[in-house]
Structure 1
């Protein structure tokens, strides 16, 4: 099949977000105008209430703001704020245009949500205060497949430590007037289910998870808790798990279960609306727990990451976390995040130009066959405060079995599409500008799936795509940062995504003894880099970001991502050069991972990755947050010095931060 590029002018005002524009205008996966999308918007100098009024005048019956935002939230006028919404395509298409007149400066799509799964009559509930013991610290978790019935989260056979659980991938519960999406379980309800489904001292866990909204295989509702091992249960066991015999009552758990469909999309494209809503729901709930009228401390772990984004601390996720951490000034909130597992993924490149460098730079993108998900490559330009940023570079793309594209410059309105012999679009190359505080342009290459079970779908060619960049108005001390969005299918989910990667011949993968090189060689000339691979979610100033070490070898795990970040005048302060510390994630190079809770009571399984290193720090932090006056990252520096785990000498600081910290997890001993 032949493929040809052609210009595709953008009609009307320039789009804000390239991926939102591509998804809404897709002919490969068309969605009816009447369908409801989840979305996260960013409002500027506009309250939620004012936004609702503006939309009601122009697009009646096209917007639903979740009941998690109470009247105070809706009336608050802030310089910038992220809000989770549900909206239809005609409204979202307008909101994703610059100068849209609704106060919206950013739009990110989630997933199409069945109308039957939305409670349009839900209203904000009353903020009732719950008095707790003086040594109480809230432990929070946002993940998928949370096995809340596991014995590590109970104080007895029929009593739970889970005080609040928002199950987002579930239809509304009959009689619930306060939840727009999913259903909410409190401790009393969970206890009643534990009692009802326990016979002869054995809990019917399949029935429990069916009745609590996580699993219903007959209706196609899948959750990892139906498998032997689930990411969320394992991580929560490390951060908040205690054996029933430990009699722990001072660590209540509040958590949110993300929809498996958005977790399955590892690119992070669909995650943001659900994450934004989950953070809002947990934020409102956390403020209710008080001692002598003051909110109790709160430690939240979120063990997710991605590859893409500006990587300078100004991305939407980093700012969303800062919004959450500062939402209640009276409550001390700390957060732990994983550094990411993309060190060896070959998903990051750096394009430099100068007198001693080639006149043009080339990247070769390997797009794999049998990839059922789209692949995205982002080329982030240098920071610019100019109203019209410089035209830094121009790009052309040559696919397998096709000719080279026309040039796409770093200018608004630049767009090329690749069409197959039937005229169907299989790839798009376009420029957009990410407004302040990022203030950087980005050229996005979006490639459609290379395989599909749907007959007649337009497919992109697999193979080696050539990307050529030429300098225009870029200085020798400036560079273009390139990231491939993550899309590899997670374990336990149906096979779908296969990760694309850069396949330049000058990239040195292995050392002299055949072991993968975890750091870039000295004087390496390849544009494909291991440095700068820190998760795109972990670039903010406040969360504690944790890398992974292997205990037996005293080395940083090869996959553990590294800094530095891209430094811009808008980067947050205090700035980070990489992760803050390193915690255990592997027992040895042969025995990978660490043990924690399996999906079923009495089961313990292994998982590895920086996702299991971060919750160890969250566990330790919950024991110290109440008595510490320092910010989270300042406390962690002291904690590393108090319980240092010696790492192999000479390890780069951009990979380890303050160093290794030894945190034993003893489920039989309380805090």
Structure 2
């Protein structure tokens, strides 16, 4: 059955709304709202969060001055740049939902429009994120958060060791064990963690002017007081701190024996007293614990505001550390061991562009700033593909996308056209398993959407007797009006949480892209990316990963090992699978590797971990690249790297490029402590990799460099 209706999930009612909402918002708050994660489904969501993009740079004070005066409709979290009056295009915001009818595309757009009037800001775009839980939100906070009650540690720099430059190492992750002994000074009492922000912890009552807009902040003094009060019982410590409260009905990660964040932060900044390691007191630590909801949706949707506000927070608190310790132009390293699989992969996605902007601004002020990001873990997951002009030689190309049974979450496939290739003479058809569902859309924008990115929407509906029940959405948008067009196909779960909801059949979905007579015959590849949809064990979301399928794709090599090269005849690709957050101009991208033989890793005798994502090997639109590699596995049979658990004295093992990146962040912070201003400035154009102690890799083949970069950091 071909859907010829105009069902667009209710977006037609909002075409007059000036502020832009994208295809993910249209699905999660409109047509697919019933399938969304719990934080989106309810009609009682009070505080919405978003990454706002403005046509022209805005200063934080002028941004807030432009807000409507009828009460607190919009807030900024802790942001960097107030003292220097920095103007940025991207800002994290929280908006109050004043609708009595819950959240739908029209009410969502109205809330955003009322909170941020277009004059003088102009037409803003919004990338929505998970809402802020009411128990975490300081709704009566002033437009600007208060200064924290913090003083520098007088014990820093008083030892007999070599004097090094005080710098800041920030970690953004989950389940941060901020009282862990590995983050303390040599005396075991003073912590090196100057600031810690738990973004989704329930707010502390009675704070008239809090230092953070949502969640809780702990300064070094507060952490030390908690340690002194609970020297032997960290369970009681975290309970008193409010760190172990449930958030959105999900248990706090810190209550587990080990977390991703405990391992990552230990690799980046830990100092194990059992091994006699002297803690590097010149490196002052800042940590941001992301909300539990961050792990619900492993696609890129729902993260941007929290991530950008975490970067702002680290940079803002770093300026306070600089003032307190008397350090000019303090050097900052931030480790972000997260990512997603889809997106533009050219550095111009919203979050990447926002991080590039703020890093570039700080560097322009003469303050060294580095962000370290893993390359990703999807090399073997069949989440990336391409359609070449040769594939379309007959006028159309059909490829397969497989969804799995018992999947409780939505699935997303993005199709990205190369820069300036107008899809107006292309058509798309989506055919469900068993040939019983079909939806078609001409890839032309709908002229009724007069504001925001040019876009169009089409629903995917079930056959009779359930005709009219939408189980998916096709959309087209000119992303950020940049000349790059995206098609997004969103499908409902194959097993919705509510059995009464219609399900998208599991199995092989066929996607047909057809080219008209006017379309160019020779163009760069059209890229395919499936959003990551894994079930992170602590969150038990019931997600199952969908993937691309091609009979010419080889899973196993002739020797019986996992295949690690692409097949020329297959449209499914391993190379180009890079983390969608790792293609910005200012990020240092780290792949994962393991020894080939025993202890020869330190000599550069290594191979890429089989999961470690890679850049491209062929010409075409840029998708970013890997800069260097670090150890992610102990051997081919002993996976992962050992790091700290959530309690002092405990250990855990985590596998992935997530544990390679923090080692590079650690080595970079060490370089920031010892190098001269001139050395650091000269390395800035290469995101400071030249000042990190490393070994040049012997494998300089195209595939070798795409997977491992040029250097090993140990």
User: Aligned match of 2:485 in 438, 441, 449?
Assistant: 441
Shift in Å, 1:34: 6.1
TM-score by length of 1: 0.88
2:215: which partner in 1? 182
SS in 2 for 1:344: coil
Q: Is residue 125 of structure 2 the alignment partner of residue 106 of structure 1?
A: yes
Q: CA deviation at 1:479?
A: 2.4
Question: 1:16/1:392 Cα in 2 relative to 1: closer, same or farther (>3 Å)?
Answer: farther
* 2:266 paired with 1:237: yes
1:38 — aligned with what? Answer: 49
The SS at the match of 1:294 is coil
Instruction: Provide the rounded CA distance (Å) in 1 between the counterparts of 2:711 and 2:248.
Output: 48
Does the CA-based 8 Å contact 1:509-1:517 persist in structure 2?
Answer: yes
In 2, the alpha carbon distance for the partners of 1:417 and 1:219 equals: 30
Q: Matches of 2:576 and 2:260 in 1, distance apart?
A: 26
Check whether the contact 2:196–2:286 (CA below 8 A) recurs between aligned residues: yes
Cα distance between partner residues in 1 of 2:425 and 2:346: 18
Deviation of 1:362 after TM superposition, in Å, equals 1.4
Change (3 A) 1:217 1:38: closer
2:351 is matched with which residue?
A: 317
Contact 1:314–1:540 (8 Å) recurs in 2: yes
Q: CA deviation at 1:77?
A: 4.6
Distance 1:633 1:586 in 2: 30
CA offsets per residue over residues 415-437 of structure 1, 9 Å max, x none? 2212230633210011111125x
In 2, Cα distance between the equivalents of 1:241 and 1:498?
A: 34
Q: Give the C-alpha shift of residue 321 in structure 1.
A: 1.7
Contact 1:544 1:633 in 2 (8 A): no
Aligned partner of 1:507 among 523, 533, 553: 553
Superposition misfits of 4+ residues, deviation over 6 angstroms: 565-569
Q: What is the distance in 2 between the residues matched to 1:647 and 1:601?
A: 40
Distance across 2 between alignment mates of 1:502 and 1:470: 19
Q: Give the Cα–Cα distance (whole angstroms) in 2 for the partners of residues 230 and 303 of structure 1.
A: 13
Q: CA deviation at 1:341?
A: 0.7
Cα displacement (A) at 1:103: 2.8
Q: CA 1:367–1:319 in structure 2 vs 1: closer, same or farther (change >3 Å)?
A: same
The 1:265/1:567 distance shift into structure 2, 3 A limit, reads farther
Per the alignment, in what secondary structure is the counterpart of residue 620 of structure 1? helix
RMSD, aligned CA: 3.1
Say which is worse superposed, 452-461 or 177-186, in terms of deviation.
452-461
Residue 556 of structure 1 aligns with which residue? 608
Q: Which moved more, 1:176-185 or 1:38-47?
A: 38-47
Partner of 1:288: 320
Aligned equivalents of 2:615 and 2:695: distance in 1?
23
> Which structure 2 residue ranges, 5 or more long, are not aligned?
98-102, 158-163, 447-454, 598-605
**Contact 2:77 / 2:309 at 8 angstroms: preserved in 1?**
no
Q: Do 2:587 and 2:687's aligned partners in 1 also have CA atoms closer than 8 Å? A: no
- Counterpart of 2:644 in structure 1 is 597
Residue 257 of structure 1, CA deviation: 0.3
Structure 2 residue corresponding to 1:125, chosen from 146, 168, 171: 146
1:209 aligns with 2:238: yes
Deviations 1:31-79 (A, max 9, x none): 437632221111222455555455526xx4573213414893797554x
Residues 121-178 of structure 1 deviation map (CA, whole Å, 9 limit, x = unaligned) = 2233248885865621211100000112222111244332111000011121134422
Q: Which moved more, 1:155-164 or 1:334-343?
A: 155-164
Counterpart CA distance in 2 for 1:395 and 1:242 is 55
2:165 to 109, 112, 135: 135
Q: What does residue range 644-655 of structure 1 map to in structure 2 within 5 Å?
A: 644=696, 651-655=703-707
After superposition, residues 243-642 of structure 1 pair within 5 angstroms as: 243-244=272-273, 245=276, 246-290=278-322, 291-292=325-326, 294-328=328-362, 329-354=365-390, 357-384=393-420, 389-391=422-424, 393-401=426-434, 402-412=436-446, 414-420=456-462, 421=466, 423-436=468-481, 438-472=482-516, 473-521=519-567, 524-553=568-597, 554-564=606-616, 577-626=624-673, 627=675, 628-629=679-680, 630-632=682-684, 634=686, 637-638=689-690, 642=694
Deviations 1:246-298 (A, max 9, x none): 25422221010000112231112111111122112111101112254514211
TM-score by length of 2: 0.83
Give 1:624 deviation, angstroms.
0.9
Q: Is the 8 A contact 1:433 1:439 kept in 2?
A: yes
Partner of residue 167 from structure 1, selected from 175, 189, 198: 198
529-538 or 411-420, which deviates more: 411-420
TM-fit CA distance, 1:94: 4.3
